[in-house]
Structure 1
């Protein structure tokens, strides 16, 4: 997953970017600089601050270091650049796993045999993904979440910290699974699910927009 002999560039200067930078450095690679469109941003300590991203093809692989799935998707679709992926060396990844571009795998993540991970996915600290799981693009698996075998997660979905998804469950696109939820049945697109056992409390409102797959408004079940 590491692009050898190249520096990485980061888009975003938040705490999430700090963890990605640490993953890069733990692989004995370099962070060549940090872009941030926020005019008040000063970048990350001890790393070159490159200011606002200019749309051009830089020579170094870029990682979009934005935790929000919707914003990450928007930026990726605007940027014209080689994307890099990075995995912290403490992660345990089967050699049969496939990982897409722009994806980051944080400390102590477990990825078991024949998992397929899409592009620009975040696998956060201590997440456990068992055999034959499939994660769509722009998914975020939060710290300590557990996906049992053969779970399918659709594009842009957020799995909350400490959530558990039982074997064979299908979770739709742009859904949100609350922290600590236990998912025992399939979850439709745009659903917001909480509790043990998980229950749908409301839905995001779908939107026909190039960048924003749903609006900020929500509807009740």
Structure 2
């Protein structure tokens, strides 16, 4: 990867750019729809998100919102979408990681795990053995999935949250920061507390 387009000039985009640079990417540019900004992390913003697919380069989406990330990623030629793994992440040899996923510094992904496309495995989070993480999931900073956890598409596991082993979480859930999940979650919604309870 020599040239990379990052869609989304934000704090998350800056971290994505840093990972790309550490992986040897020599040219990084941003596309963003906010016309009031012209650079991100020292890299130029050269167009709007809708134009990113027209440039001859690899592409990754640097946007935290799962719905927006999904919409934009699926509008780009899938052959252009790349995956980025920080050199200081620990990823077992048999782990499967989908296109457009970013694995950040200090993250650990253990054997037998499958990570979907467009995911964020954030700084110092861990995904233990035999987990299945759906598409466009965000495993936030310092959060932990124990072994054999299934996480449905577009779910957000909040910073510092813990999901106990052998748990399934359905799609479209938000697990609050510091929360602890000890039972299956079968209904979409927001869950907080120790152990978690759904916010009505």
Normalised TM-score (structure 1): 0.85
How far apart, in 2, do the equivalents of 1:89 and 1:25 lie?
11
Q: Would you say 1:108 and 2:97 are equivalent positions?
A: no
Q: CA deviation at 1:170?
A: 0.2
How far apart, in 1, do the equivalents of 2:81 and 2:143 lie?
26
Q: Identify the residue that residue 74 of structure 2 maps to in structure 1.
A: 77
Q: 1:15 aligns with which of 1, 11, 23?
A: 11
Indicate conservation of the 8 Å contact 1:124/1:142, yes or no: yes
Q: CA deviation at 1:55?
A: 6.0
The superposition leaves residues 58-80 of structure 1 with CA deviations (integer Å, 9 ceiling, x where unpaired) of 32110110011111112123333
Q: Identify the residue that residue 51 of structure 1 maps to in structure 2.
A: 47
1:78 match: secondary structure: coil
How far apart, in 2, do the equivalents of 1:124 and 1:45 lie?
18
Q: CA deviation at 1:159?
A: 0.1
Indicate conservation of the 8 Å contact 2:138/2:154, yes or no: yes
Indicate conservation of the 8 Å contact 1:127/1:143, yes or no: yes
How far apart, in 1, do the equivalents of 2:32 and 2:145 lie?
33
Indicate conservation of the 8 Å contact 2:139/2:158, yes or no: yes
CA gap of 1:10–1:138, structure 2 versus 1, over 3 A, is same
Q: CA deviation at 1:32?
A: 2.8
- State the number of aligned residues: 198
Q: CA deviation at 1:27?
A: 1.4
The superposition leaves residues 125-166 of structure 1 with CA deviations (integer Å, 9 ceiling, x where unpaired) of 000110000111100000000100000000000000000000
Q: CA deviation at 1:189?
A: 3.8
1:193 match: secondary structure: strand
How far apart, in 2, do the equivalents of 1:114 and 1:161 lie?
24
Q: 1:40 aligns with which of 14, 30, 36?
A: 36
Indicate conservation of the 8 Å contact 1:10/1:31, yes or no: no
How far apart, in 1, do the equivalents of 2:62 and 2:90 lie?
22
Q: CA deviation at 1:39?
A: 1.7
2:40 match: secondary structure: coil
**Could you list the runs of 4 or more consecutive aligned residues of structure 1 that deviate by over 6 angstroms after TM superposition?**
none
Q: Identify the residue that residue 93 of structure 2 maps to in structure 1.
A: 95
Q: Identify the residue that residue 60 of structure 2 maps to in structure 1.
A: 63
CA gap of 1:44–1:132, structure 2 versus 1, over 3 A, is same
Q: CA deviation at 1:57?
A: 4.2
